[in-house]
Amino acid sequence: MRFVDIIIRKRDGATLTDEEIAYAIQAYLRDEAADYQMAALLMAIFFQGMTPAETAALTREMISSGEVYDLSSLNIPFPVDKHSTGGVGDKVSLPLAPLAAACGVAVPMVSGRGLGHTGGTLDKLESIPGFNVRLTREQYFRQLEKIGVVMAGQSDTFVPADKRLYALRDVTGTVESIPLICASIMSKKIASGARALVMDVKTGSGAFMKTLDDSRALAQGLIGVGKEMQRPVHAFITDMNQPLGRKIGNSLEVLESLECLRGEGPSDLREITLRLTAEMLILGGVEQTEEAAFARCVRAIENGSALTKFRELVEAQGGDPRIVDDPSRLEVAPDVAVLEAETAGYLAATDCRAIGNAAVVLGAGRNKMTDSIDHGVGLEMLVKIGDRIEPKQPLVRIIHRGGKGLDECLARLRKAFVIQSEPVAAPPLIYERLT
């Protein structure tokens, strides 16, 4: 078998066999195929696409490139995970994981770091003093058995094929390929031990997929790969035309997550968290209907068991559990500025990506993976799309450190709000549920 023949077949629109896909990945990982050959194959896939069977074969090959967590021998409930395609203020994993565990499913959650305008779950967790996201296999398994939830980063031995392929996709214009995105997501989730997955596919100005059609295609692609691999996937398409919740930035998002677990905080964050967690309970066999699953989640927040589970999670991973009852222990930058509205009207739209990037220039995120971040800075959104706006009304609180990045942050934010004279309807929070 020759690598060039595989490139030509995919270039011409053929369906690759499992053997061809296995050969291509293994040859690349053994350095028997050059970067330029894999780049050519990735571009052929980008233009010609892949069938669900091809995408599943690629996913399987990526999984087998590294360590796989087989949880079948553990004494745990059915393991279900949640994955979001990312957005601004998307802190859902923080309340969701302990809530789901408190309701009776195991949650083996392997998460990532923030890059560009989107935040990362690991960075948010690390704003909790002492919280350790680098767990050994033994620590990961032991914690799942003990408290039913783990939130960790990828180990270096985890799906190495994905790291190599993503680095190449990033510099060859092949990131936005649905089969390649599906294989990347599903390989990591299956390798982490999840038997089922709830996908939160964001759509809108702050999302990776900007249009409803693209978001739907990605959701359907993930569901298709899940069926091929006997891993049920349920997907929600949710709005990212404005930040989720009100707070953006690492410590700030932990604070808002704690509010959510107390039954307080923004209604949009609460609704998304409850809906996605309820879906995890259905996939995990804990409840049969959306109504019963939703009600169980509400009870776990009302009786405090979800907040208790979050405390257990923090303590198990070396964090300071006192932040649960005393959130002032979370480090928040001391300086505050406010962006005010210049005109009256209604908030018609926000450039959600620009808002995320405004938080990055304060130090809340990264432009490249080697950048360090400031856990204490960020933004607090004071208005939502559809709100009536008056002149001089505060739109955003900017939590900064000594003015670092403040001028650029303000300049970006000023361009991010569209205020018009006619009333505007708020966008839907959830557009579709797909199974």
Q: Write out the chain's pLDDT in tens, 435 residues.
A: 999 999 999 999 999 999 999 999 999 999 999 999 999 999 999 999 999 999 999 999 999 999 999 999 999 999 999 999 999 999 999 999 999 999 999 999 998 887 778 888 999 999 999 999 999 999 999 999 999 999 999 887 889 999 899 889 988 989 889 999 999 999 999 999 999 999 999 999 999 888 999 999 999 999 999 999 999 999 999 999 999 999 999 999 999 999 999 999 999 999 999 999 999 999 999 999 999 999 999 999 999 999 999 999 999 999 999 999 999 999 999 999 999 999 999 999 999 999 999 999 999 988 777 788 999 999 999 999 999 999 999 999 999 999 999 999 999 999 999 999 999 999 999 999 999
Q: Decide if 162 is catalytic.
A: yes
Q: In CATH, what number does 3-49 get?
A: 1.20.970.10
Residue 353 corresponds to which tokens in the numbers above?
């990506």
Q: What's the pTM value of the predicted model, to 2 decimals?
A: 0.94
Q: Decide if 83 is catalytic.
A: yes
Q: Of 10, 60, 82, 169, which residue is the catalytic one?
A: 169
Residue 35 corresponds to which tokens in the numbers above?
């970067």
Q: Decide if 31 is catalytic.
A: no
Q: Decide if 155 is catalytic.
A: no
The ranges assigned to domains in the chain are 3-49, 80-323, 331-420
Containing 400, the helix (H) or strand (E) segment is: strand 394-400
Q: Of 60, 83, 270, 311, which residue is the catalytic one?
A: 83
Helix (H, G, I), strand (E, B) or coil at 320: coil
Residue 142 corresponds to which tokens in the numbers above?
């032991």
Q: Are 303 and 114 in contact (CB under 8 A)?
A: no
Q: In CATH, what number does 80-323 get?
A: 3.40.1030.10
In CATH, what is the architecture of 331-420? Alpha-Beta Complex (3.90)
Q: Of 81, 123, 162, 351, which residue is the catalytic one?
A: 162
- The string over 197-221, giving b where at least 16 C-beta atoms fall within 10 Å of a residue's C-beta and e elsewhere, is bbbbbbbbbbbbbbeeebbbebbbb
Residue 332 corresponds to which tokens in the numbers above?
């928040």
Q: Of 177, 184, 192, 251, which residue is the catalytic one?
A: 184
Predicted local confidence at residue 116, as pLDDT: 74
CA–CA dist 262, 245 (Å, integer): 15
Q: Decide if 375 is catalytic.
A: no
Cα 428 from chain centroid (whole Å): 20
Q: Of 124, 188, 311, 397, which residue is the catalytic one?
A: 188
Q: Are 187 and 215 in contact (CB under 8 A)?
A: no
Say if 3-49 and 80-323 have the same CATH topology. Answer: no
